[in-house]
């Protein structure tokens, strides 16, 4: 504390220094000149900051107002140094004078440093000439704006007139709309009556569907009973003819043996016919669970179960699809088409090809052969029930029901079936089947 007080004392002490007036030899004229000059400079330096601060206070929108404050500090510091020059003429407190000068130097450097980045900004400010030109352009814009406002006022007047006219039209349109709403309400009431009627019809339709379901069930039971009752005497006839042929085979004449063979073939045909009728009555109506199946593998199983002659070659195309469907139905279709191609072929070494092509929502399957073919006028007949174009098979094992069952199953699933064939050029049966997912497998041949 004593050191600090001693320093302040030294700062205000004259020490062994002599007053500055000795440098002027105490000539009254010279001393008076310096005193008057420094006093006037100090007065000016103190007046200028006062005016600057007053200006900044009155014009708060002045840019760089803080710079004015910094300049004021700088000028006040400079004025204080001139006052100290007058003081040191008689009182040699040069340490205090030096401290004030150092403070002035610091404020000066701070002000100079702050001005460096402001120079480009200040230079970018518009000049008075530019402001004058801008003001003139603004005056022109104001005149144009006034003309535009006059035009807008005129347009507003015209718009009000049009609004009144449009309001009148809208009032008429509202009246018309109210009339249409009334008519629409009447139409909705009529629609509600129709909806109620449709509701009653749907209820009646559900009752009819339930009745049809019961009738179909009764029909299935009836078909099964009829099939069983019709097969019973046929089995008795078949067994009796076999016993006669076995017991009296050597004693029967050739004609009687021929007649017994004809009888047995007729019994077999009748049994096949009854089975076909039973299958036809159930086709498209049986509800079976859908499964994900590989159609290529399904075809392999069908071909294996049919056991075609060794001379026959059956080719299954590549990329046969995998789909979600009822495998029993698709198996029955392929079994009928392939067995027909084998039975109705005119050569023992036939060739059958099976392919599949994707469509929009279906797969198109093609079962083609190189058999005798079918004339165009008989294309529709092959799908009719009890129709067989092969007269030889018609007298033995063909019932004429197989393709009818195929057509019924395909159409029940939403697909189509058709035939492309010419006499002597083979036959190609096309049918579409709903698709779900597709994957490929390798092509295969079966013989």
CA distances from 47 to 42, 44, 100 (A): 8, 5, 19
Tokens of 359: 């469509």
Domain span including residue 55: 2-124
Domain assignment of residue 275, yes or no: no
User: pLDDT at position 2, please?
Assistant: 46
Give a yes or no: residue 91 inside a domain: yes
Taking the CA atoms of residue 46, residue 50, residue 51 and residue 57 in that order, the dihedral angle to the nearest 10 degrees is 160
* Confidence (pTM): 0.43
Residue with tokens 């009796």: 240
Contacts (Cβ under 8 Å, ≥6 apart) of 361: 434, 435
Report the pLDDT value the prediction gives residue 253, as an integer from 0 to 100.
77
- CATH assignment at residue 299: 3.30.565.10
- Is residue 411 in a domain? yes
Smallest CA-to-CA distance from 356 within 443, 270, 262 is with: 443
> In this structure, is residue 173 part of a structural domain?
no
Consecutive sets of 10 residues in the chain, 447 residues long: mean pLDDT of each?
A: 52 74 84 88 86 82 75 86 86 84 86 80 76 87 91 90 90 90 90 88 84 69 60 72 72 76 68 59 60 91 87 89 88 90 88 92 93 87 66 51 86 91 92 68 48
> Domain boundary at 90, 124, 158, which?
124
206, containing H or E segment: helix 128-247
Cβ contact 318:441 at 8 Å: yes
Kindly state whether residue 144 falls inside one of the protein's structural domains: no
- Distance, in Å, from the CA atom of 409 to the CA atom of 394, rounded to the nearest integer, reads 23
Indicate whether 339 belongs to any domain: yes
Picking from 95, 124, 153, the residue at the C-terminal end of a domain is: 124
Q: What is the DSSP letter of 413?
A: T
Decide if 278 is inside a domain: no
Residue 90 domain-assigned? yes
- C-alpha distances (whole Å) from 221 to each of 197, 270, 344 are 36, 20, 34
d(CA 239, CA 167): 100
Structure tokens belonging to residue 232? 């019973």
Query: 63, 98, 124 — which closes off a domain?
Result: 124
- The b-or-e profile of 415-446 (16+ CB within 10 A means b, else e) is bebebbbeeeebbbbbbbbebeeeeebeebeb
Residues whose CB is less than 8 angstroms from the CB of residue 422 and which lie 6 or more positions away in sequence, other chains included: 373, 374, 375, 376
pLDDT of residue 446: 47
Task: Return the DSSP state at 208.
Answer: H
Structure tokens at 130: 């530019």
How many domains is the chain partitioned into structurally?
2
């Amino acid at each position: 504390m004593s050191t600090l007080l001693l320093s302040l004392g030294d700062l205000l002490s004259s020490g062994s220094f002599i007053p500055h007036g000795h440098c002027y030899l105490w000539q009254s004229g010279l001393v008076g000149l310096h005193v008057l000059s420094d006093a006037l400079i100090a007065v000016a330096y103190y007046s200028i900051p006062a005016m600057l601060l007053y200006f900044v206070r009155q014009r708060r929108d002045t840019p760089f107002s803080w710079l004015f404050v910094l300049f004021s500090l700088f000028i006040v510091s400079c004025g204080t140094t001139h006052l100290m020059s007058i003081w040191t003429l008689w009182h040699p407190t040069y340490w205090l004078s030096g401290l004030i000068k150092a403070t002035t130097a610091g404020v000066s450097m701070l002000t100079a440093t702050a001005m460096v980045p402001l120079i480009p900004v200040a230079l970018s400010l518009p000049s008075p000439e530019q402001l004058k030109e801008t003001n003139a352009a603004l005056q022109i814009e104001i005149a144009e704006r006034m003309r535009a406002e006059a035009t807008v006022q005129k347009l507003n007047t015209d718009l009000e007139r049009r609004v009144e006219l449009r309001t009148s039209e809208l009032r008429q349109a509202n009246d018309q709309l109210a009339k249409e709403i009334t008519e629409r309400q009447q139409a909705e009431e009529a629609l509600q009556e129709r909806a109620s009627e449709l509701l009653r019809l749907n209820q009646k339709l559900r009752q009819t569907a339930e009745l049809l379901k019961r009738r179909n069930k009764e029909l299935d039971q009836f078909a099964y009973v009829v099939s069983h009752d019709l097969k019973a005497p046929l089995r008795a006839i078949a067994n009796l003819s076999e016993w006669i042929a076995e017991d009296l085979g050597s004693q029967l004449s050739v004609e009687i043996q021929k007649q017994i063979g004809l009888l047995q073939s007729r019994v077999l045909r009748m049994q096949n016919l009854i089975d076909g009728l039973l299958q036809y009555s159930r086709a498209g109506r049986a509800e079976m669970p859908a499964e994900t199946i590989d159609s290529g593998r399904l075809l392999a199983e069908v071909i294996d179960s049919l056991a075609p002659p060794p001379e026959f070659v059956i080719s299954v195309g590549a990329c046969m699809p995998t789909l979600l469907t009822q495998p029993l139905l698709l198996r029955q279709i392929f079994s009928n088409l392939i067995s027909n191609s084998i039975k109705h072929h005119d050569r023992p070494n036939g060739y059958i090809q099976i392919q599949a092509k994707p469509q929009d929502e279906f797969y198109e399957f093609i079962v083609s052969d190189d058999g005798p073919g079918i004339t165009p006028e008989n294309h529709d007949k092959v799908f009719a029930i009890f129709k067989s174009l092969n007269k030889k098979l018609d007298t033995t094992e063909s019932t004429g029901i197989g393709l009818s069952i195929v057509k019924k199953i395909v159409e029940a699933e939403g697909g189509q079936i058709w035939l492309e064939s010419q006499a002597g050029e083979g036959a190609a049966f096309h049918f579409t089947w709903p698709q779900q997912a597709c994957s490929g497998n390798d092509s295969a041949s079966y013989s």
